[in-house]
Structure 1
Amino acid sequence: MAFSIRLFVFILLLMFSSNPMIIMAKEIKYNHNSETISEIKEKVDFTILTPRKIPNDWILDTKTSPWIMLLYMNSKDTKLMIAIHLRKGFPLSNEDFPHSQQVDINGNKGYFHKWIDSGEVDKNGDTITGGLLNWVQDGTYVEMNSSRFSKEEMLEIARSMK
């Protein structure tokens, strides 16, 4: 019996050390009786993309009308960290975002526009940063916004979406 347990542990260690691409799925914490990502996927006819690079303690609030909204809140559920809006994709062009900076997100043309009051301090004493990021990936239109994360941090989260 002890040998079989040691063998099992050895095989697990071997699998994880020899294949760095294995990633353990983390449990998503939901709030406000939100529908789960799995439930939402069953209701729509487009790909639901979710970020992989987010802190473990964030809480997800989902809304499904008029489009899919993924609202990632801080661990105390008091501050919106990132909002992601999803709907069936449609072609984007430079004319749609004349004042935005073009960016690459997973090989897709995206557009970033910083907030007009970026760098100012809001009523809660937080410095406004970030902006609005738009792109189409796997047939899904994605609009991400944040006033708490920089453009680079938003792009890192956007590029982790699968």
Structure 2
Amino acid sequence: MAKEIKYNHNSITISEIKEKVDFTVLTPQKISDDWTLDTKIKPWVMLHYMDSNDTKLLVAIHLRKGFPLSDDDFPYRQQVDINGNKGYFQEWEKSGEVDKSGDIITGGLLNWIQDGTSVEMNSFRLSKEQMLEIARSMK
């Protein structure tokens, strides 16, 4: 049974997004039950998962029709495996520092192609390991 998604900001649903785009819309299966989701589809599909109070962006996932990625596109990133696909991860330059809200900056930027869809995920609040767990749950 699929988990109910808590949408916010009058977002359109994942089902509605799938009807409007010509590529596979991947969504994470492993997210916290109390996160909310803000969606947008211009200029690409944006899935912004917020905390339960809808005050902090926890992870942003941007989807668009896939295009080839090469190692040359990401010379400073670490290669990672995401569901058998080559991905690229780079932590933030200010990782480990405290941001304006008092939170420690963690995470980074993660890119990969899956099922013909280009995926870019970023987070300042989740660790690399948490981001990879979410990425690997994308279907």
TM-score, normalised to structure 1, is 0.85
Tell me what 1:85 maps to. 62
Deviations 1:47-69 (A, max 9, x none): 00000000011100001110000
- Matched ranges for 1:1-162 at <5 A: 24-162=1-139
The offset of 1:161, in angstroms, is 0.3
Percent identity, aligned pairs only? Answer: 79
The offset of 1:118, in angstroms, is 0.2
Structure 2: tracts of 5 or more residues without a match: none
Relative contact order (C-alpha < 8 Å, sep 6+): which is higher?
A: 2
Between the aligned partners of 1:30 and 1:123, the Cα distance in structure 2 is 27
The offset of 1:101, in angstroms, is 0.3
May I ask how many residue pairs the two structures share in their alignment? 139
The structure in which a higher percent of residues are helix is 1
Could you tell me which amino acid in structure 2 is paired with residue 35 of structure 1? I
The offset of 1:96, in angstroms, is 0.3
Could you tell me which amino acid in structure 1 is paired with residue 80 of structure 2? V
Between the aligned partners of 1:99 and 1:136, the Cα distance in structure 2 is 18
Between the aligned partners of 1:150 and 1:31, the Cα distance in structure 2 is 24
Deviations 1:73-100 (A, max 9, x none): 0001000000000000011000000000
Higher Rg: 1
Could you tell me which amino acid in structure 2 is paired with residue 61 of structure 1? D
User: What SS class does the counterpart of residue 23 from structure 2 fall into?
Assistant: coil
TM-score, normalised to structure 2, is 0.99
The structure in which a higher percent of residues are strand is 2
Structure 1: tracts of 5 or more residues without a match: 1-23
